[in-house]
Structure 1
Amino acid sequence: MNFVLNEELIEYTKNHKEPFVKSAHHMISQCLELDKEIPNDYRWLFSSKDSLEQQVKVITDGDSKKVNYIYWNDQASNIEAYCYMTFWRGVELIKSCVNGLNARDTIAPAIAARSLLELSTVFLLNANTLEKTFSKVTFPDKTVVCSTEVEELVVKMIWGTRYDNPEPHLQQTNIMTSLKKLAKNPNAKELMPKYEFLCDIAHPSFIGNTSYWSHVEGVTTDNREKRVISRLTSRNFNADILDNTIWSLAWSSVCIKNSFEMLMKANNSLLDKLSTSNLTP
């Protein structure tokens, strides 16, 4: 199955005035090229609270270096699992969005693109936060180094939810908070307008209705327009819906690829610090 834009869409985008729409095919392809290197299975070495306490008690004998190794290796393992889960999720949405666009659908690709904006925004924010944090982590001699902030973030990254009244530490951050935070960056100034446009399509609202408004076939003698509404793929399409969907798809593809690479690199850098500091038990 073809998971990149078809020739019709490539022709449509190649001279587009919006850079992300113009470069969409390339941006999507880059993310999917990385996907070829990503395994379909991953063995997540997970430690429960009881397991961690047991490891610290049995292995470390109070040695701060060994405690640090166990603690930070566990955080790194959870973060790596998060990277794979989020990347897989992003690629699944990308492929679904592309397939819908290639089939000349409108509603489903737009909704997938909206979900991609949410996923890629949170992924990018988490990657930036952990990269900055890990770059500052040091392991002084005879010192146990922990981070409540990292623990809380990792818990929310993997187990955070807003479903069914979760406990406070599992209460996921509202997506609008994340979107508005990232939108403050000058490079993301188009994020909120695109997201709000796609939200109107996802809801039973005006813009979603217009996706079926094909054209005006004629005008009656009393000036009533005979408007053709259609679900056939041969109908005239709302260019705004197509443009906003492709922009969001391309932007998200770049963010998901960059976030995965950034966070995996930061994770490996942390593990290198553990290794070079001779912290291995």
Structure 2
Amino acid sequence: MSYILNRDLIDYTENHKDPMIKSVNLILSQFSDVDRQVPSEYHWLFSSVESITEQLKSLNKNDYKKMNSIYWNDQTSNIEAYCYMTLWRSIELIKSCINGLNTKETIVPAIATRSLLEISAIFLLNANILEKTFAELEFPSKTIVFSTEVEGLVTKMIWGTRYGKPEEHLIQTNIMTSLQKVAKHPNAKALMPTYEFLCDIAHPSFIGNTSYWSHIEEITCDNQEKRVMSRLTNRSFNDDILDKTIWSLAWSSGCIKNSFEILMQANKEVREKLKAS
């Protein structure tokens, strides 16, 4: 399936006054380029604590470069795996959203983009933190370099959860905390209002119900309204739902693409620093 909206939606978005909605087709095209370049299967080289210990045991105690390589190759391998997991998850949601929009569904695309906003916010924060950290990372001669902060973040990125009773270091950050951090950026002013709107659609609440309110067919002599409710695709739609869904699709797709590229490049630079050390 391609990342292309149907003709009606292309016309609707290209003539829209909101810059983010107007740019959705270009953003989806750019995201599609990334999707074509990534594998559909990835071999994750994972090292447990026991494996790391065994690898280090076999080294000369003065082989600092090799020790650093074992530690940082493990971190970058985990980060790369996280990048693919996050991208693949996003691809499923984006395709589901596009398919729903193209067939004039409202609820499923809205809920999918709500999830995309959550994923993109966390992905963006993690990418920015690691990019900054890795840019400052150095490997001085005869020095073992490690980072408990990077290790903790990478662990939470992959294994973090709020389900059940996880250990303290695995408790995932509350999604609202991440969204509110991102929303402080001047270009993300619409993020929180849009997210809260989409949450109301996901819940059994008012906005989701309005998706099926088509139009008022008649007002009776005693001032009652005959309201047409419909699930037909030719009904009158709630434009707010459509606009906020498309805005979220565009914003999330762009953030996820950028975050993926930022982290993959940061990983590459760490590995190059290791080789040069």
Question: Which residue in the other structure is 1:150 paired with?
Answer: 150
Q: How far off its partner does 1:2 sit? A: 4.0
Question: What RMSD in Å do the two structures reach over aligned CA positions?
Answer: 0.8
Question: Which residue in the other structure is 1:244 paired with?
Answer: 244
Q: Which amino acid aligns with 1:248?
A: S
Name the SS for the 2:45 alignment partner. Answer: coil
Question: Which residue in the other structure is 2:41 paired with?
Answer: 41
Question: Which residue in the other structure is 1:76 paired with?
Answer: 76
- List runs of 5+ in structure 1 lacking aligned partners: none
Name the SS for the 1:95 alignment partner. Answer: helix
Question: Which residue in the other structure is 1:159 paired with?
Answer: 159
Question: Which residue in the other structure is 2:115 paired with?
Answer: 115
Q: Which amino acid aligns with 1:76?
A: T
Question: Which residue in the other structure is 2:207 paired with?
Answer: 207
Q: Which amino acid aligns with 1:181?
A: K
Q: Give the alignment's TM-score, normalised by structure 1.
A: 0.97
* Percent identity of paired positions between Structure 1 and Structure 2: 67
In 2, distance between residues paired with 1:58 and 1:267? 26
In 1, distance between residues paired with 2:256 and 2:275? 28
Name the SS for the 1:247 alignment partner. Answer: helix
Name the SS for the 1:187 alignment partner. Answer: helix
Q: How far off its partner does 1:60 sit? A: 4.3
In 1, distance between residues paired with 2:65 and 2:230? 68
Question: Which residue in the other structure is 1:265 paired with?
Answer: 265
Name the SS for the 2:233 alignment partner. Answer: coil
- List runs of 5+ in structure 2 lacking aligned partners: none
In 2, distance between residues paired with 1:249 and 1:3? 11
Paired residues in the alignment total 277
Deviates more, 1:57-66 or 1:75-84: 57-66
Q: How far off its partner does 1:3 sit? A: 3.2
In 1, distance between residues paired with 2:68 and 2:227? 69
Name the SS for the 2:40 alignment partner. Answer: coil
CA contact (8 A) 1:214 1:236 kept: yes
Q: Which amino acid aligns with 1:126?
A: N
Q: How far off its partner does 1:28 sit? A: 1.1
Name the SS for the 1:146 alignment partner. Answer: coil
Structure 2 vs 1, CA of residues 74 and 60 (structure 1 numbering), >3 Å: closer, same or farther? farther
Q: Give the alignment's TM-score, normalised by structure 2.
A: 0.98
Q: Which amino acid aligns with 1:177?
A: T
Q: How far off its partner does 1:59 sit? A: 2.8
Give 1:221-232 correspondences, 5 Å limit: 221-232=221-232
